[in-house]
Structure 1
Amino acid sequence: MGINLNYNVSAHRVLHDQKMKDMLPIMRDTGVSTLWLFGYFYGRFESELSEIEKAKKYLESEGFEVNAISIPVGHPGNALDGDISSHTDLTIPDTWHYRVNGEGKNTYFCAAIDDVMIKDNAEAAKKLRDIGITKIFYDDDLRTSSSSSEIGGCFCEKCIEEFNSETGHNFDREILYGILTSDEGAEEIKEAWTDRNCRLVVKFLKEVTHEGLTSGIMIAQGGKRLSGTDIPLIKKEVPETFFRVGEGNFTDEKLNTEEGKKGLIKSLLTHKELIGDISKTYSETTVFPARALSPENLVEKMRIEIKCGLKNIYLMSGVWLIDEPYWEAIKKAMPELIALSEQY
């Protein structure tokens, strides 16, 4: 298996932005074979469905494989816009509810995973399938916490009531959160809460993966059961799922440190081993915010990922379009990167 370069783009821009159209042959000449169209972003399609269908056909005529990428939950803060000037709508639908943290505050702009948001995402996935999409990647907000190191879950009254009903307890938010964040004891309660969150993510994946569709989930760097990410459970319950690994180190400041590189490698290798199938394993090779990672360091991140055995390299940049100096640097490095992929 050789290197498979992936990138994601807006269908609206593909159809209406000349700069985007001018970049397509540059991407193709660099080696990009697969483009993932922005799909369903926390309750709304990023482009009109008709535009996604037209863009898919156009990109296929240009020689690309075309899939979709959706953001089901929403990120804390603006994790989409690589250019500060954007007016990206980050709100969630009124019929969803924000994830409530352990202090009882809404986590903007993150939805809680519940039946309504799962239903809406499942309906959106079906619409994408019906226009010919066969693979949908779900971004790494498909988890139950804002970071991999904090206890996941929604601490609203309804979610706590559901947990109490499932486990036979009668906790309020303050007591439950205190137990979950304590250093010692109450392991049974902690495990039950973590199981609940992991099951919610699996339920989501099951319900969005219609016949004719394969789903992927992006795993945050260091992602684990604490934040609702249980790779063995996902593999068992939704066997065809593919994964993206190695989030983090989006900037020169982070990648240029030994700690940053070691953390990236540790996360890559841990998740790669759990997934166990390199064909279902993708990198997250991200520049964010715009130009925060230099072209040279983007290539260096690709080297690290390839040396860890990855073949599917997924370039990402929020909604900012990676510009020409990056593609030139990647194209120049491709002979070396291909040789590395054959070695590792």
Structure 2
Amino acid sequence: MHIHYNMNPLLVINEAESQGALDLFKRSGIRTIWLWGYFFGRWWASMEDMIKAKEILLRNGFEVGVAQVPVGHPGNSLNPDDDTLDLTIPSSWRYRIDRNGEPVYFCADLDETMLSDNVRAIEMLRDAGFEQVFYDDDLRQGNWGPNIEGCFCDDCLKGYNEAYNRRLTREELARSLPRPEEPGDPEVAQEWVAYLSGKISRLMKQSDLPGIRIGIQVMHLGDERHGIDMPGIRDDIPGCMFRVGEGHFNDQDFGNPQARAYDLFSILHHLNIVPREQAFSETTVFPPRSLSPSSLVFKVKMAVSAGIPNIFFMSGTWMIEEDYWQVWIESKEAIERVASEYEPYARIFPVHQAYGTDGAGAEPTEMPQTAFLSGLPVKPVRGLEAEKNAEKAEVLLFFGKYRLTDAWIRSLGNYRTIIFDQTAAAYNEDSLSGLADFPIVRWEHTFGTKPTEEEGRQLRELLAATNPQFPYMTEGRNIGVIWLRDADGVILLNMHGARTEGTLRFDGRSHRVELPADTCLLIRRETNGSYSRTEW
């Protein structure tokens, strides 16, 4: 487990103030510190001070990287308590324009000037001896949500029309892009998504300089509709770093089981695309002190359970305070022990929940997390990645308004059981009529219309009738399950902020379990046939 944190270079060079923090970070196990670098067109500190900070950190035994904010966030995502921050972009850059022709303030379009300025910043860092740079999650072409976004300025419209031999106005393009309830023009959607994703991919490729390891921090469920072509970036830049699963930074958002499951959902979605060894966690407190120390530590436990080897603690332009680090230090040894022993093992998810086909379809980004909270070893899968992920699958859940596209139909033969809820069945009636040879079950229920506990019980009963060959909870609620098949083990995650209990069906036996708040439990069959339990 490699632990990371971000830090102000101006604080680092004030050694009278920073040494205490650096000593605390050493006790916390932090190995790499990421200095704040080039933020939407301006340096946080001079290059001379950046170099001084790097030398101090190296002298203290840390590895050093640089965190960049290339585009700008739509609002004060650095520190909402600090109204002195200058969030404007340079006058030589241009704002992103939304589909209604309005500027998205604080967010730059990726035009030629902006691209060249950011690449020049990477060159300067490389020449100053820095070797790794992470772009923040503002590197996108739209805000979170299901809609296809992008920059609709006159220059971008001209570029798109020339690239695809179109003559669309802004209004015509906006009408052509699908939304969850509107099909739009699929051909135009694919073209536009490719065009806007090409901008970010171009910046990433140009930033992938000799001597620099580059990375992108991907926003919560970010994909092609936001201009983030993760598969393309992965293929174009071997070794690229990806921060995954970002979301829910405060207890108001993170304090319920659905939100915790949604974070895990996002992590697993992105891990379908990028190699685990290149993945970094999103372990953030925002705004200051809004996430409790125990919740922050549980975020680490979720990331470790999912097999992420890089834990990236992040804050805005303030420091995570000492009481957080003390709670982390008290928890660190047990978490590191699990990470060290089980990180190499594959995480197996024999239950797949259909999550659209690709970003160009503008299919829903939100769904009830019943399957995750009911103790099934489940992960979201898109049609784009279905064939690659199907070899270890048994069950496909097709719930809600997701389209049964050709990519999905090609993969149906990999599943022993395929369950459609009433919404998905009605939404795909024409396609289903020609699939009588597949093991499709129509659940006489509309997913998301009953309380999670009752709906989860019904779903487990439905699966039990198919004689599942994988571990799952037969009783209980708010428990996530991750199968370490090759280690003869199962990780259970308490997704609730209070004690919970249930019964796990594993290895042909029933195991009664109790999980205190914010804990995980690893159950493993030992070589002598006994079962060990590790609570962490």
Q: Which range, TM-score by smaller chain? A: over 0.9
Q: Deviations over 1:10-49 (max 9, x none)?
A: 1111113744332110011110010001111000111111
Task: Write the distance in 2 (CA, Å) between the matches of 1:56 and 1:297.
Answer: 31
Alpha carbon RMSD of aligned pairs, Å? 1.3
Partner in structure 2 of residue 204 of structure 1:
203
8 Å CA contact retained: 2:6, 2:35? yes
Task: Write the distance in 2 (CA, Å) between the matches of 1:177 and 1:256.
Answer: 37
Q: Deviations over 1:289-340 (max 9, x none)?
A: 0001011110011111111111100000111111100110110000121123
8 Å CA contact retained: 1:148, 1:224? no
Partner in structure 2 of residue 193 of structure 1:
192
Count of residues in Structure 1 that have an aligned counterpart in Structure 2: 340
Per the alignment, in what secondary structure is the counterpart of residue 314 of structure 1? strand
Query: Is 1:126 matched up with 2:123?
Result: yes
Q: Counterparts in 2 of 1:134-153, with a 5 A limit? A: 134-153=131-150
Distance 1:76 1:17, change over 3 A: farther
2:177 to 169, 173, 180: 180
Task: Write the distance in 2 (CA, Å) between the matches of 1:129 and 1:65.
Answer: 15
1:284 to 277, 282, 285: 282
8 Å CA contact retained: 1:112, 1:154? yes
8 Å CA contact retained: 1:269, 1:308? yes
1:39 to 37, 40, 53: 37
8 Å CA contact retained: 1:75, 1:146? no
Distance 1:87 1:20, change over 3 A: farther
| Larger helix share, 1 or 2 | 1
Partner in structure 2 of residue 329 of structure 1:
327
Query: Is 1:94 matched up with 2:75?
Result: no
Per the alignment, in what secondary structure is the counterpart of residue 319 of structure 2? coil
Q: How far does residue 103 in structure 1 lie from its aligned partner after superposition?
A: 1.2
Of 9-18 and 112-121, more deviation after overlay is shown by 9-18
What stretches of structure 1 of length at least 5 have no aligned partner? none
Task: Write the distance in 2 (CA, Å) between the matches of 1:250 and 1:150.
Answer: 23
Q: How far does residue 267 in structure 1 lie from its aligned partner after superposition?
A: 0.9
Q: TM-score, normalised by structure 1?
A: 0.96
8 Å CA contact retained: 2:200, 2:227? yes
Q: Deviations over 1:250-309 (max 9, x none)?
A: 001111111111111111011112102x22110010000000101111001111111111
Q: How far does residue 248 in structure 1 lie from its aligned partner after superposition?
A: 0.6
Q: Counterparts in 2 of 1:6-25, with a 5 A limit? A: 6-16=4-14, 18-25=16-23
Q: Deviations over 1:144-172 (max 9, x none)?
A: 10214332210111111111111111111
Task: Write the distance in 2 (CA, Å) between the matches of 1:23 and 1:256.
Answer: 29
Whose Rg is larger? Answer: 2
Task: Write the distance in 1 (CA, Å) between the matches of 2:185 and 2:263.
Answer: 32
Task: Write the distance in 1 (CA, Å) between the matches of 2:123 and 2:229.
Answer: 25
Partner in structure 2 of residue 338 of structure 1:
336
What stretches of structure 2 of length at least 5 have no aligned partner? 344-536
Per the alignment, in what secondary structure is the counterpart of residue 93 of structure 2? coil
Partner in structure 2 of residue 70 of structure 1:
68
Report the residue type matching 2:113 in the other structure: V
Q: Which has the higher contact order (CA 8 A, sep 6+)?
A: 1
Query: Is 1:106 matched up with 2:103?
Result: yes
8 Å CA contact retained: 1:149, 1:227? no
8 Å CA contact retained: 1:302, 1:313? yes
Task: Write the distance in 2 (CA, Å) between the matches of 1:93 and 1:144.
Answer: 18
8 Å CA contact retained: 2:99, 2:149? no
Partner in structure 1 of residue 243 of structure 2:
244
8 Å CA contact retained: 1:14, 1:20? yes
Of 238-247 and 180-189, more deviation after overlay is shown by 180-189
Report the residue type matching 2:68 in the other structure: S
8 Å CA contact retained: 2:178, 2:184? no
Partner in structure 2 of residue 271 of structure 1:
270
Partner in structure 1 of residue 233 of structure 2:
234
Per the alignment, in what secondary structure is the counterpart of residue 274 of structure 1? coil
Moved over 4 A (4+): none
Q: TM-score, normalised by structure 2?
A: 0.62
8 Å CA contact retained: 2:152, 2:170? yes
Q: How far does residue 230 in structure 1 lie from its aligned partner after superposition?
A: 1.4
Q: % of aligned pairs identical?
A: 35
Report the residue type matching 1:187 in the other structure: P
